[in-house]
Amino acid sequence: MNIAVKTNDLFVTVDGLNTRYFEEGAFGEGGGVPAIMLHGSSLGSSADVFRRNVAALGKQGRAIAFDLPGFGKTDPSEDLGGAYRKKFILRFMDALGLRRAALIGHSSSGNPTASLALENPDRVSHVIILGTGSLLPPLETAGAKVGGREESAQARLEDRMVKQEPTLEDTRALLAANLFHHELITDEELMLRHQNSIGRCFTEFVRRHAAGAEGGGNKGGKVSVPMWQRLVEIKQPLLLIFGRNDRARAEERATLLKERYPQLNLHFAEGCKHLVPWDAADLFHQLAVPFLKGR
């Protein structure tokens, strides 16, 4: 099992926001491509979710992880829309002088990663998706109930934390709900995750949640094609990894996706819940390094 390492924080101004990132490797090193790792949007998320991955991926080329606006140590943005999030990723690439890079999206970042690959093929060389439930088809069984008692308890905890800043034990409980390997929740990892869950990070989490609730619904009345149905339109090399033990019956839904589109390069991680970069670090590295070296 890979152990997390300390990172050297770097900062760059992106769209007027002080943006924190860290990296390993160098362009052209190992024959690979620059790879940018994008974290999810749950409370406590930050580039630190990739601390145990950046060195391994840095052996194939330049590997970079950064805090999105309002997460970790990056300044918040007034614009909370999904379109701005995608623009920010491209502007971050511009700030680092990267014309083209591989994008690795975990959780909620998988959808904008796939979208950027479709909309800006000249900027995205490879696509890796880790545990993104929104890129899986819904279960078609009439009245199918997604989730169980454990997931209901997690949902209640998350709902409560929108109204109240989490305690250290709340942060531990959320990590435990998203990790199969609880031994990875060291004191260091717990404190780091908690620091990214309180103060300004908590304020921004509440603001994002409110904006999402207010912005719900289909205002234009136009039904768009779900992104999971468009994955086969992506021209770049595409790799998908899902945890067999992830929430919302992800294994069943990922199986449906593979049955519908057997050409997809989709893998299951054993003993893995939602935090694929932690639970399945070894498998992620074994698959991603040669994948990023390919053309």
Alpha helices in the chain (DSSP H): 54-58, 82-95, 110-119, 149-163, 168-178, 187-195, 200-214, 227-230, 250-260, 276-279, 281-293
Closest CA to 63 of 286, 295, 294, 285: 285
Structural domain tally of the chain? 1
Model confidence pLDDT, tens digit, residues 132-165: 999 999 987 544 555 555 555 566 666 777 789 9
Q: Is 201 helix (H, G, I), strand (E, B) or coil?
A: helix
**pLDDT at residue 152, rounded to an integer:** 58
Domain extent, residue 24, equals: 10-137+226-293
Confidence of residue 4 (pLDDT cuts 50, 70, 90): low
User: Does residue 26 sit within a domain?
Assistant: yes
User: Does residue 172 sit within a domain?
Assistant: no
The residue ranking higher by pLDDT, 33 or 94, is 94
Tell me the sheet residues that pair with 119. Answer: none
User: Does residue 230 sit within a domain?
Assistant: yes
The residue ranking higher by pLDDT, 8 or 234, is 234
Question: What CATH number is associated with residue 121?
Answer: 3.40.50.1820
User: Does residue 272 sit within a domain?
Assistant: yes
With tokens 């709340």, the residue in question is 170
- Angle, helices 149-163 vs 200-214, to 10°: value is 110
| Whole-number Å distance between alpha carbons of 98 and 119 | 17
Instruction: Count Cβ atoms below 10 Å from residue 283 Cβ, excluding itself.
Output: 18
| Whole-number Å distance between alpha carbons of 35 and 62 | 6
Residue 99: Cβ-neighbour burial (10 angstroms; 0-12, 13-18, 19+) = exposed
With tokens 């391994």, the residue in question is 56
The answer for residues whose C-beta is within 8 angstroms of residue 97's C-beta and 6 or more apart is: none
User: Does residue 265 sit within a domain?
Assistant: yes
- For the question of whether the overall pTM of this predicted structure is more than 0.85, the answer is yes
Mean pLDDT, the chain, whole residue set? 90
| Whole-number Å distance between alpha carbons of 196 and 67 | 11
DSSP labels, 57-107: HHTTS-EEEEPPTTSTTSPP-S---HHHHHHHHHHHHHHTT-SSEEEEEEG
User: Does residue 56 sit within a domain?
Assistant: yes
Model confidence pLDDT, tens digit, residues 54-80: 999 999 889 999 999 999 999 999 999
User: Does residue 270 sit within a domain?
Assistant: yes
Model confidence pLDDT, tens digit, residues 36-49: 999 999 999 999 99
Decide: 38 and 47 in contact? Cβ < 8 Å: no
The CA-based dihedral angle spanning residues 169, 42, 14, 17, taken in that order and rounded to the nearest 10 degrees: -50
User: Does residue 204 sit within a domain?
Assistant: no
Q: Residue 235 pLDDT > 90, yes or no?
A: yes
